[in-house]
Amino acid sequence: MPKLDGPRRALLVGCVTTLVVTALSHLDELVPKAAPYVGTLVGATFLAVTWRTVLRKDSALVRAHGLSLGGLTEEGALEARRIVREAAVALGWAALVAAIIFPIFWLGYRYYWQVRSGFALRVPADWWDIVLGQLLVVALPEEAFYRGYLQTALVRPNGSASSSGGKRGFWTAHWRILGADLGPGWLVTCAIFAAGHYLALPHPSRLAVFFPALVFGWLRARTGGIGAAMAFHTMCNLLTETLARGYHGP
């Protein structure tokens, strides 16, 4: 297996990057005219760090981090069949998980926000822009960095080299959960992810993203790539927006 970043370095990169994008998310408070570009700037930062740590290197390392995306980020010619096949598999996994979790989330949303009104589906005129924005500006950069780079560097497969001389260490994948090999780094990644969301908008509800992050991380480990996590992440954000608009208005 290609050499991954050590856990200490990965933690440092994860925390520093999270703090940087948090500062960028508040840029519009200092420069109001920058507001329309903040989200894009945050996403670009995540992708820049992922490129620096993984994507600029060889294809074997890209595959090890689950960042191939059907070969789009690997060296060599693209294969349409591979892209379509892997996209279909990713969407299938995301749809399956969504079918299980979303009804429970819907009930939880109504209970947490004490919803008393009925739901009215309100489709915005720019819905396609919203979908693409959630996929390409939010889900792709965050999943590439947190699940592609950080979780991969922190969750070591059994038998991988470590500072303990190859022995089973703290960061080794200790748990087999529904077909996915996971370790403490999975939880640490989710915690850093949630902390970043809270720092960007300090409200207790923002810490709740820890729980969908568990699913994003599980999907990354279960499928071997970030495609399914990207798709499910996008679906989660779109569902939240749809519920907010449907219960509370535009």
* pLDDT value, residue 133: 96
* pLDDT value, residue 165: 45
Is 1 among the domain residues? no
* pLDDT value, residue 85: 97
* pLDDT value, residue 3: 81
Is 2 among the domain residues? no
* pLDDT value, residue 36: 93
| pTM beyond cutoff 0.85 | yes
d(CA 213, CA 185): 12
* pLDDT value, residue 11: 97
The structural domain count of the chain equals 1
- Look at residues 216, 221, 235, 187 and name the one whose alpha carbon lies nearest to residue 14: 187
* pLDDT value, residue 156: 77
- Look at residues 154, 140, 142 and name the one whose alpha carbon lies nearest to residue 12: 154
* pLDDT value, residue 168: 60
Mean per-residue pLDDT pooled into runs of 10, the chain (250 residues): 87 98 95 94 98 94 96 93 97 98 95 90 92 97 98 78 53 92 96 97 94 98 98 97 90
- Look at residues 21, 25, 54 and name the one whose alpha carbon lies nearest to residue 37: 25
Question: Containing domain of residue 91, as a range?
Answer: 7-248
Angle separating helix axes 38-50 and 7-25, nearest 10 degrees: 170
Decide if 149 contacts 72 (C-beta within 8 A). no
Which pair of tokens denotes residue 184?
């403490």
* pLDDT value, residue 23: 96
Residue 172: strand pairing partners? 156
What are the angstrom distances between the C-alpha of 39 and each of 22, 42, 87, 142, 232? 11, 5, 25, 11, 19
Write the pLDDT tens digit of every residue in 63-114. Answer: 999 999 999 999 989 999 999 999 999 999 999 999 999 999 999 999 988 9
